[in-house]
Each structure stands twice: as C-alpha cells, then as structure tokens.
Structure 1
Amino acid sequence: MPGPLDVLPVADGIGLPWDVPVDDAVGAIAAARATHGDAFVVRSAGDDYLFTFSATGVESFYALPEDAASKGLADYLMLRRKLPDEVFTGRRLLPAALFRRDDVSSYLVNLAEALDATERELGARGEVDLFALVRRLGHRMGLASWAGPGSADGAAFERLVAAFDVLDGSEAFVHPDAMAAVAASGKRAERAALDDVAAVVDAAVRRQEAGDAPGAGLFGRIVDAWAGEPAEERSRGIAMDVALIHVASMSNLMAALGWAIVDLVADPDRLRLVASGDRELAQRCALESTRLAQRSIMARAVVQPVAFDTGVGVVDVPPGWTIATLLPLLNASAAPGLHEWDPDRWHRHRLADTTALASPMLVTAFGHGRHSCPAQSFSLSAMTMAMIRLCGRYDVTPAWAEYPRSVPAQIGGVARSADPCVIRYARR
C-alpha cells in the first residue's frame, strides 16, 4: 500500500532558483541527493517537489499519465514566469501542431535558405560568437516557417529577432534568478515585444491576403483558424499563435547545435568526416552533445492523486505537488564513462549498449516513450544539415582556451554558454 510522503527526507535549506538566489542550481540538487539519497522532498517558496533519481523512480516518472501528472502544466507554470498570459490564453494552433510530415519538409527547405543567408552574412572569413550565430539561424528558419511572408528578411526579420530575444521563454529556466525582476516590472518589456510581433505579423497577413504569397503551410493554417473573427481580434490572435509557436520551438534546438559544433571542432578526425557529408556520424554527434548539454529539470505537475514508486517505497503524492528528476545528474553519471563525449555510444536514436545501466531510461537526449520530445526527428535532421553545411563550407577554429561553461543558475533545457564562444572561420 502507498505510504505518506513524510517518510521521505526533506532537503532543508534548498530552494529552487526562481524562488531564492542559487549559485549553482544543478549543484544544489546534486548536494541534496548526496545527502538524502535518490528520493527526497524540496520545499521552495511554498511549493512542494518530490525529486527522484533511482532506476525505479525514473521509470515510474516516465510512466506517469498526463491526466494525473501533467508535463504541459509544469511547462506552462515555468514559462509563465517570463511570458505574459496573453501568449497562452485562447491559442488555436499550439506548438504540438508543428511536426506534420509536410510541414517538416518545408522547415528543412527554409533551413537550407537560412544557411544560404548565414553564409552571405559571414563572408569569406572572420570571427563570430558561435551561439549567437546559431540562434540567429534558428530565428530565420523558424520565422520563414510560420511567421508569414517577408518575416525572415530585411527590417521585418530584424524587428522580430529583437522582439523574440526579449520574449525568449527559455529565460525562465536559463536565468531563473532574473524572473523576480521580470515580475516586478509587470513584464513591461515582454508586452512591448509582443506588440512588435503583432505589428510585423499583421503586415505578413495583409501581404498574404493581397496575393503576394501562398497561403499554404503552418502560417496559412494559423490564419485560417482565426477566420470570421473581428479584424482586431483576428490580427492579434494570429500573432499570439505565431509568438507561442516560435518561443516554444527554437531555442533549445539551436543551443544543442551550438554544443555539437563545440564538441566537433575539438575532434579533428570526426570533424573531417562530418565536413565531408557523413550524415550518420553527424546525427550521432548531435545526440551525444545534446545528452551532455542537458540541464533539464523534467517535471510533472500533479493534478490527481498518484501512487508513485520512488524505488525506496511507494508514496501518495497529492495534487499541487511536482514530481521531478534532473537530467544532468543522470546523463553523465548513471554508468562509467558517461561524462566523456563519445558519439559511437549511439545507434540511430538509442544507446547502442545499455548493459551498464540499471535502466535505459536513466540516460536520454530527447526523453523516453510518450514523454519523448515530439521534435526529435526534425531536430536531428536540422542539426545534421547545419553541421555538415557549416563545417563543410568553413574551416573552423575555436578561440576559447577552455571548454565553455554553462550558465550556473540554469535548471532546464539545453545548456546555454555562460561566456562568449568565439570561433574563427575561413571559407574552404
């Protein structure tokens, strides 16, 4: 029979970084795990979290049904610390609509065109911050894919890039320590950025309706979803659908691409093979770099009572709690050697050898089962294309003396670099 939660130890003095200042968010949870074992409770600013790290606990975590312990709600509660409620309320096309097969094909076409534009901007040689480069690439691909005609070029593109850099929802977990200031401002900067998005997207709608561009694809479906509404409500609704899709889709993918290039340029033999077009190797490199760059807190917001097996006993978890695990505490330590970058450990989308793991679910790049990231196949295709293109067209030399650090306060998503990561490049 399930038992009460009070049998689990409480990690006193530990808070989560959106509630209290924390120098190293992952390190704080790692210290609590070292003290209390693989199942413990964290109470942070009145919210209750059950952290689980054992093989049984992690398998139980991935088995939680969405209607009882919701990933969607947990993600929303995180992102709303940064984004105005308008971004979430009344949406008609959600990010889950992104990955129809015909849409994905068009996104990869747009990625190829975005890479063309990136090459024109880079020129023959120079220096550039790697993560700024791939972030701009992601903006261009995404905005071409779902923000309407003209949104990925010229002044409209630059205005949207500036707006979405303000609206970056990943700031809620990359810089959770900044969320108190966001709340204190009433999200003033974020609301102004939404107005900029609305103005540019409205112009794209008018351009499409004037017959200047085709109405197919995701943007066309967004526009159609608001047909029949009053003009002002329709215009704003289309823009907010675009805004949510963009902030939910690009930042982790492009951060992972950045780390894949960081790792690849440190391995000349594999770099040469990827530059020559080895897609299978490029995909394995993408998976391995994503695994090691994960800073994700995987969280489920409990909405119905659940009996949860922690590995040291089954406990009753009531609504209002969050059940969580932390990928960086598993991905690099669940078996010997996992702290090292080794693309050969992957076969297709899976680890080639899991015999040293207490459970295959202890290590992941994109999640497991029904909790896998729905963008996995597209993300790997996009990263593979971009790695082959950029490394094939340019000789790349890192300007950093030591391996780049991730942001210490980050607890969620793929790591962001705490420092500039400048690369020197020259066209081959």
Structure 2
Amino acid sequence: MPGPLEVLPVADGVGLPWDVPVVDAVAAVADARARYGDSFVVRSGGHDHLFTFSPTGVESFYALPEESASKGVADYLMLRRKLPDEVFAGRRLLPDALFRRDDVSSYLAHLDRALDATEAELGERGSADLFALTRRLGHRMGLASWAGPGCAEGELFERLVRAFDVLDGSDAFVHPDAMAAVAASEKRAERAALDDVADVIGSAVRQVDSGTVQGGGLFGRIVAAWAAEPAPVRQRGIAMDVALIHVASMSNLMAALGWALVDLVEHPDRALRVAAGDADLAQRCALESTRMAQRSIMARAVLGTVAFDTGVGVVDVPAGWTIATLLPLLNTSAAPDLGHWNPDRWHRHRLAHASALASPMLVTAFGHGRHSCPAQPFSLAAMTMATTRLLGRYDLTPGWDRHPRPVPAQIGGVARSAGVCRVGYRTR
C-alpha cells in the first residue's frame, strides 16, 4: 500500500529561483540531493515539489500518465510566469501540431534558405556571437515556416525579431529571478510586443485574404482554422496561434545548435569531418552537445492523487503537487565517463552502451517514451544541416579561453550561455 509523503525528507532552506534568490539553481538542488538522498520534498513559494533521482524514481516519473500528472500543465504554469494569458487562451493550432512529415520537409527547406541569408549577412570574414547567430537563424526559419508571407525578410522580420525577443517564454526558466519584476509590471512590455506581433501578422493575413499572395503550409492551416470568425477576432486569433507556436518551438533548438557549434569549434578534428559532410557524426555531435547542455527541470503537475515509487517506497502524491527530476544532475553523473563530450557514445538516436547505466532513463537528450520531445527528428535534422553548412562554409576560431558557462540561475531547457561566445570566421 502507498505510504504517506511524510516519510520523505524535506529539504529545509531550499527554495526555487522563482520564489527566492538563488545564485545557482541546479547547484542548490544538487546540494539538497547530497544531504537528503535521491527523493526529497522542496517547499517553495507555497508549492510542494517531490524531486526524484533514483533509477526507480526516474522510471516511475517517465511512466506517469498525462491525465493525472501532466507535463502540459507543468509547462503552462512555467511559461505563464512570462507570457500573457492571451497567448494560451483559445488556441486552435497548438505547437504539438507542428511536426507532420510534410511540414518538417518544408521547415528544412526554409532552414536552407535561412542559412543562405545568414551567410549573406556574415560575408567572407568577421566575428560573431554564436548564440546570437543561431537565435537569429531560428527566428528566420520559424517565421518563414508559420508566420505568413513576407515575415522572414526585411523590416517585417526585424519587427518580429524585436517583439519575440521580448516575448521569449524561455525567460521563465532561463532568468527565473526576473519573473517577479515581470509580474510587478503586469507584463506590460510583453503585452506591447504581442500587439506588435498581431499588427505584423495581421498584414500578412490581409495579403492572403486579398489574393495578393498564397498562404500555404502551416500558416494556411492556421488561417483556415479561424475562417468562420469576424475579421478582428480572426486576425488576432491567427496572430496568437503564430505567437504561441513560435515561442514554444525555436529557442531551445537554437540554443542546442549554439552548443553544438561551441563543442565542434573546441574539437577541430571533428569539425573538419562535419565540414566535409559526415552527417552521421554531425547528428551524434548534436545529441551529445544537447545532453551536456541540458538544464531541464522535468516536471509533472499532479492533477489527481498518484501512487509514486521513489525507489525506497511508494508514496501517495496529492493533486496540487509537482513531481520533478533535473536532467543536469543525471546526464553527466549517472555513469563515470559522462562528464566529458564524446559523440561516439551515441549510436543513431540512442546511447551505445546504455546497459552500463542503472536505468537507461537516467540519461537523455530529448526525453524518453511518450514524454520524448516530438521535435527530436526535426531538431537533429536541423542541427545536422546547420552545422554541416556553417562549418563547410567557414573556418571558426574561438574567442573564449575556457568553455562557456550556462546562466547560473537557469533551471529548465537547454543552457543559455552566461556570456558572449564570440568566434572569428573566414570562408574556407
């Protein structure tokens, strides 16, 4: 029979960075794990969290049914710290509709053209911040894929880039310490940015309505989903669908691409092979860099009492709690050799020697089972294309003297760099 939660230790004095000042969010949870073991309770900001790290606990975590312990609700509760509620209310096409096979092929075609534009902007030589470069590349690809005609070029593109940089939902976990100020402002800057997005997307909708241009692909499906509504409601609804899709889809992928380029720049022998077109190696490098760069808190919002096996006993976790694990505390420590970058540890999409782990679920780049990221095939294809193109075109020289570090307060998603990661480049 499940037992009471009181059998689990409570991590006294440990808070999460949305609620209390925390210098290094991952280190704070790591310290609690060292003191209290692989399963413990964190009470922060009036909310209760069960953290679990044992092999059985992690397997139990991935086995949780969505209807009683929801990833979707946990993600929503995270993102709404940053984004206005209007972004979420009444959506008709959600980010989980993004990855149909025909859509993915069109996204990769848009990425190819976005890389052409990136190369034109870079020219033959110069210097650039890798993470700013990949972020801009992601904006261009995404907006070409689902934001409507003309939105990935010229001044309309620049307006949307400025707006989406303000609307970046990943700030909720990259800069959780800033969320109190966002709340205090009643999301004033975010609401203004959302209005700007609606204005730009509205102009694209009017072009499609007039027959001036065609609105195919995902944008066409979004437009069709709002066809029965009066014009003002329809245009705003289309814009909000586009906004949610864009903020939910691009930033982690392009951060992972940034780390893949950092790691390849630091391993020039591998970079030369990728530049020569070794797509299998490029994909394995993408997996390995994503694994190493993970700062994700994997969380499930408990909607109805669940019996949860921590590895030392089964406990009843009531509605209102969050069950969580933290990938950076597993990905680099679940086996002795995981603390360094080595793409040869991957075979296709899987670890080559997962049997050496106490559980294969202790290490991941994109999640496990039904909770795997649905964007994994596309993300790996996109990172493979981008690293092959950029390294094939440019010789990159690192401008840093030690491996870049993540934002210390970050607790979620793929790491963002705490500082500028500048590279010198010249055409090969």
TM-score by length of 2: 1.00
Report the alpha carbon displacement of residue 192 of structure 1 after superposing the two structures with TM: 0.1
Query: 1:212 — aligned with what?
Result: 212
Question: SS of the counterpart of 2:356?
Answer: coil
Query: 1:60 — aligned with what?
Result: 60
Separation in structure 1 between the aligned mates of residue 132 and residue 213 of structure 2, nearest angstrom: 30
> Residue 176 of structure 2 contacts residue 409 of structure 2 at CA under 8 Å; is this kept in 1?
yes
Query: 1:348 — aligned with what?
Result: 348
Separation in structure 2 between the aligned mates of residue 47 and residue 359 of structure 1, nearest angstrom: 29
Residue by residue, what CA displacement relative to the aligned partner does 1:52-80 show, whole Å, maximum 9, x if unpaired?
Answer: 00000000000000000000000000000
Report the alpha carbon displacement of residue 215 of structure 1 after superposing the two structures with TM: 2.3
Query: 1:77 — aligned with what?
Result: 77
Separation in structure 2 between the aligned mates of residue 213 and residue 328 of structure 1, nearest angstrom: 46
Amino acid at match of 2:144: A
1:326 counterpart = 2:326: yes
Question: SS of the counterpart of 1:207?
Answer: helix
Report the alpha carbon displacement of residue 208 of structure 1 after superposing the two structures with TM: 1.7
Separation in structure 1 between the aligned mates of residue 62 and residue 71 of structure 2, nearest angstrom: 10
Amino-acid identity (%): 79
Question: SS of the counterpart of 2:341?
Answer: coil
1:123 counterpart = 2:123: yes
Separation in structure 2 between the aligned mates of residue 91 and residue 250 of structure 1, nearest angstrom: 18
Amino acid at match of 1:231: A
Report the alpha carbon displacement of residue 420 of structure 1 after superposing the two structures with TM: 0.4
Query: 2:374 — aligned with what?
Result: 374
Report the alpha carbon displacement of residue 206 of structure 1 after superposing the two structures with TM: 1.2
Tell me how large the CA RMSD over aligned residues is.
0.5
Amino acid at match of 1:177: D
Separation in structure 1 between the aligned mates of residue 211 and residue 277 of structure 2, nearest angstrom: 39
Report the alpha carbon displacement of residue 24 of structure 1 after superposing the two structures with TM: 0.3
Separation in structure 2 between the aligned mates of residue 390 and residue 214 of structure 1, nearest angstrom: 31
Residue by residue, what CA displacement relative to the aligned partner does 1:244-296 show, whole Å, maximum 9, x if unpaired?
Answer: 00000000000000000000111111110000000000000000000000000
1:76-155 equivalence runs, <5 A: 76-155=76-155
Separation in structure 1 between the aligned mates of residue 337 and residue 209 of structure 2, nearest angstrom: 57
Separation in structure 2 between the aligned mates of residue 393 and residue 213 of structure 1, nearest angstrom: 33
Query: 1:253 — aligned with what?
Result: 253
Separation in structure 2 between the aligned mates of residue 186 and residue 316 of structure 1, nearest angstrom: 37
Q: Say which is worse superposed, 162-171 or 349-358, in terms of deviation.
A: 349-358
Separation in structure 1 between the aligned mates of residue 390 and residue 303 of structure 2, nearest angstrom: 45
Report the alpha carbon displacement of residue 356 of structure 1 after superposing the two structures with TM: 1.9
Query: 2:38 — aligned with what?
Result: 38
Q: Say which is worse superposed, 206-215 or 223-232, in terms of deviation.
A: 206-215
Unpaired segments ≥5 residues, structure 1: none
Query: 1:179 — aligned with what?
Result: 179
Amino acid at match of 1:229: E
Question: SS of the counterpart of 1:355?
Answer: helix
Question: SS of the counterpart of 1:2?
Answer: coil
> Residue 285 of structure 2 contacts residue 343 of structure 2 at CA under 8 Å; is this kept in 1?
yes
1:379-394 equivalence runs, <5 A: 379-394=379-394
Separation in structure 1 between the aligned mates of residue 329 and residue 203 of structure 2, nearest angstrom: 46
1:238 counterpart = 2:235: no
Question: SS of the counterpart of 2:355?
Answer: coil
> Residue 25 of structure 2 contacts residue 409 of structure 2 at CA under 8 Å; is this kept in 1?
yes
Query: 1:170 — aligned with what?
Result: 170
Separation in structure 2 between the aligned mates of residue 415 and residue 231 of structure 1, nearest angstrom: 41
Amino acid at match of 2:249: S
Query: 1:279 — aligned with what?
Result: 279
Question: SS of the counterpart of 2:408?
Answer: coil
Residue by residue, what CA displacement relative to the aligned partner does 1:385-418 show, whole Å, maximum 9, x if unpaired?
Answer: 0000000000000100110010000000000000
Residue by residue, what CA displacement relative to the aligned partner does 1:322-343 show, whole Å, maximum 9, x if unpaired?
Answer: 0000000000000011011000
TM-score by length of 1: 1.00
Amino acid at match of 1:368: H
Amino acid at match of 2:71: K
Separation in structure 2 between the aligned mates of residue 332 and residue 95 of structure 1, nearest angstrom: 30
1:200 counterpart = 2:213: no
Amino acid at match of 2:106: S
Amino acid at match of 2:241: D
How many equivalent residue pairs?
428
> Residue 149 of structure 2 contacts residue 215 of structure 2 at CA under 8 Å; is this kept in 1?
no
Separation in structure 2 between the aligned mates of residue 45 and residue 291 of structure 1, nearest angstrom: 30
Report the alpha carbon displacement of residue 370 of structure 1 after superposing the two structures with TM: 0.1
Report the alpha carbon displacement of residue 207 of structure 1 after superposing the two structures with TM: 1.4
Separation in structure 1 between the aligned mates of residue 241 and residue 355 of structure 2, nearest angstrom: 44
Query: 2:418 — aligned with what?
Result: 418
1:158 counterpart = 2:158: yes
Report the alpha carbon displacement of residue 209 of structure 1 after superposing the two structures with TM: 2.0
Residue by residue, what CA displacement relative to the aligned partner does 1:77-130 show, whole Å, maximum 9, x if unpaired?
Answer: 000000000000000000001000000000000000000000000001000100
Separation in structure 2 between the aligned mates of residue 356 and residue 105 of structure 1, nearest angstrom: 36
Amino acid at match of 2:227: A
Report the alpha carbon displacement of residue 150 of structure 1 after superposing the two structures with TM: 0.2
Report the alpha carbon displacement of residue 346 of structure 1 after superposing the two structures with TM: 0.3
Unpaired segments ≥5 residues, structure 2: none
Q: Say which is worse superposed, 348-357 or 233-242, in terms of deviation.
A: 348-357
1:3-42 equivalence runs, <5 A: 3-42=3-42
Report the alpha carbon displacement of residue 190 of structure 1 after superposing the two structures with TM: 0.1
Residue by residue, what CA displacement relative to the aligned partner does 1:130-178 show, whole Å, maximum 9, x if unpaired?
Answer: 0000000000000000000000000000000000000000000000000
